[in-house]
Chains A and B, each alone.
Chain A
Amino acid sequence: MNKILIVAEHDGSRLNPAIAKCVRCARDIPDANVTVLVLAADPAAVAAEAATINGVDAVVTVANPANAQALAATLAPQVAAVASGYSHVFGPSTTFGKDLMPRIAALLGAPQLSDVMAVESATRFRRPIYAGNAIVTVEVAAGTQLVATVRVASFEAAARGNATAPITAASLDVVLPSHTRFVSLSAARSDRPDLQTANRVISGGRAFGSADNFKILDGLATKLGAAVGASRAAVDAGYAASDMQVGQTGKIIAPELYMAFGISGAIQHLTGIKDARTIVAVNKDAEAPIFEIADYGLVGDVFQIIPELERLIG
């Protein structure tokens, strides 16, 4: 049997949708037994949610006031204490997982695979490298404990069922460090869908020229019920917030519909949208590389096209 431990990402009350995708990935491993580990100040609600995901065999909780913030230095030793006896330790390839999982791997002395996109066997996995320009198949020796982050855009979410996995509380005897302290989180409040899980995403690039101009995407986003993303150039220039960046070093997304406005299509951007079902590109340069991969391309000025689309979609 392959025992897989998935470290739950949550906001204190709700499970991150990425976890149901990690469950699907874990279930692709033959003969898998899947446990979700919830570390929180009060894990009850999140654990109850995790227990209803199809394919979850057990939920383990660790309650500790120190877990109110997801600090890698605090969480990692707790996960490491639970992880012995598990063949695989998974987390999502979100900033939470990217920050935490390598710290766990080092404490366990285990190798880590980042951004697993496909499972070939319990010891063989595929992952993208070079901004997605190559896919490598990697084999770990049987019997080696493996830590991995799951590229969430590559997996469907496991569904929720009526059955509930058993929830058990673990009490750990681990000394937690005090050298890392949470100060604040500034999150742009938005009632738009979450960029990483939205069905529709519209993104803007350098073409917009200012933060004010970038706002013309808002009307269209509202009409489409879409999340708004951005290229690195738009974020660097201050038109959009950093958490809106799509690409190799931003968010990797897989919406049903992706619309890129005034984005040239640099490889680092494209790697973030390759799994989108349908890609639309609007750019005034007919030679822009984004047209090479777009399902629908339209040569035109974003300042003219966006209001037209908003009117037509009505």
Chain B
Amino acid sequence: MNRILVAIKRVVDYNVRVRVKPDGTGVVTDGVKMSINPFDEIALEEALRIKEKGQAQEVVVVTIGPADCQQQLRTALAMGADRALHVQTDAVIEPLTAARIFKSLIDREQPMLAILGKQAIDDDCNQTGQMLSALWGRPQATFASKVEIGDGVATVTREIDAGLETLEIDLPAVITTDLRLNEPRYVKLPDIMKAKKKPLDVLEPAALGVTPSEQLKAIRYEPPPQRSKGVMVKDAQELVAALRSKGLIQ
């Protein structure tokens, strides 16, 4: 069966103004709105579209994290994923650990494609997909803005600094998504009801042979240096004069 594995992460919603705790031990997450990482939503949408074109039969969503993550898995099921896997742990999960867990799930699920968001908007690491493809020994097409599935291959357009690069990769492979790949669908109420009946399996990292290790210890969190508000100028002339006096323009 042609299967697509989609990794999703529960993160602080992108609309929340994140604040560092006064004691510097982390950022405030209590009572803060949590969502599926926006790039992962795009990953799921792409998987669903591939399935809807008949190029895959099953979409499996997987997440790693504490019990609360099941809310995001339920949302993913409501969007249209067929089943969900929850690797439940309260441990700090670094990208390499996440990649090892996903790799062991790949060994069980044998997908033709694993689609991940290019980065999670909490730690902004942008690592897990690339690490997964290295561990799997398979192609990676990161920062995808267009994906076409062919016969045993995928043609992927990537957003890179120089412009748009197109790669052809053999399947199975890992794709990570950029913002312009698609616009994720909205979840409809009846789908939320239906999603409650879809299978959601809970696993433990140890059962997958992975022990989460914390190699990168966060010592201290700080707010960024603030730029102070400058001056308002009344028109273009005043602006040009100000910039000239600072030597910023001729």
Q: Which of B1-58 contact A (CB under 8 A)?
A: 12, 14, 17-20, 27
CB atoms of A187 and B240 under 8 A apart? no
CB atoms of A297 and B233 under 8 A apart? yes
B215: A residues at CB distance < 8 A: 111, 140-141, 144
Residue of B nearest to A120 (CB): B219
A229 at the interface (CB under 8 A from B): no
CB atoms of A274 and B155 under 8 A apart? no
**How far, in whole Å, are A132 and B118 apart by their CA atoms in the complex?**
17
B248 at the interface (CB under 8 A from A): yes
Q: Which of A98, A102, A113, A184 is in CB contact (< 8 Å) with B131?
A: A102
Q: Which size class do B's interface residues fall under?
A: 35 or more
User: What 0/1 pattern do residues 82 to 103 of A give for CB contact below 8 A with B?
Assistant: 0000000000001110111111
Residue of A nearest to B168 (CB): A181
CB atoms of B161 and A251 under 8 A apart? yes
Residue of A nearest to B165 (CB): A185
CB atoms of A295 and B134 under 8 A apart? no
Residue of B nearest to A132 (CB): B224
Q: Beyond A73-B139, A242-B145, is A105–B169 a contact (Cβ under 8 Å)?
A: no
A188 at the interface (CB under 8 A from B): yes
CB atoms of B96 and A112 under 8 A apart? yes
B232 at the interface (CB under 8 A from A): yes
Of B59-67, B74-82, B119-127, B201-209, the one touching chain A: B119-127
CB atoms of B161 and A106 under 8 A apart? no
**How far, in whole Å, are A173 and B155 apart by their CA atoms in the complex?**
30
Q: Beyond A132-B224, A182-B167, is A98–B233 a contact (Cβ under 8 Å)?
A: no
CB atoms of A112 and B127 under 8 A apart? yes
**How far, in whole Å, are A313 and B124 apart by their CA atoms in the complex?**
39
Of A26-34, A60-68, A286-294, the one touching chain B: A286-294
Q: How many residues of A contact B (CB 8 A)?
A: 86
A300: B residues at CB distance < 8 A: 235-236
Q: Beyond A95-B159, A134-B20, A183-B167, is A111–B124 a contact (Cβ under 8 Å)?
A: no
B138 at the interface (CB under 8 A from A): yes
User: What 0/1 pattern do residues 257 to 278 of A give for CB contact below 8 A with B?
Assistant: 1000000000110000010001
Q: How many A-B residue pairs have CB under 8 A?
A: 253
Q: Which of A94, A114, A279 is in CB contact (< 8 Å) with B125?
A: A114
B239: A residues at CB distance < 8 A: 280, 296, 298, 309
Q: Which of B19, B143, B249 has the largest number of chain A CB atoms within 10 A?
A: B249
B91 at the interface (CB under 8 A from A): no
- The minimal Cβ–Cβ distance linking B16 to chain A, given in whole angstroms, is 9
Q: Which of A172-197 contact B (CB under 8 A)?
A: 177, 179-188, 196
A140: B residues at CB distance < 8 A: 215-217
A299 at the interface (CB under 8 A from B): yes
Q: Which of A133, A235, A313 is in CB contact (< 8 Å) with B240?
A: A313
CB atoms of B138 and A129 under 8 A apart? no
B109 at the interface (CB under 8 A from A): no
**How far, in whole Å, are A128 and B130 apart by their CA atoms in the complex?**
20
User: What 0/1 pattern do residues 152 to 183 of B give for CB contact below 8 A with A?
Assistant: 00010011111111111110010000111000
B142 at the interface (CB under 8 A from A): yes
CB atoms of B221 and A136 under 8 A apart? yes
**Known contacts A95-B160, A185-B166, A296-B230; can you find 17 more A-B pairs with CB under 8 A?**
A72-B142, A95-B159, A102-B134, A110-B96, A113-B216, A128-B124, A129-B124, A131-B18, A180-B169, A181-B169, A185-B165, A187-B163, A278-B243, A298-B238, A299-B232, A300-B235, A309-B240
Closest CB pairs A-B (n = 9): A187-B163, A106-B134, A295-B230, A102-B130, A106-B131, A102-B127, A308-B236, A111-B215, A183-B166
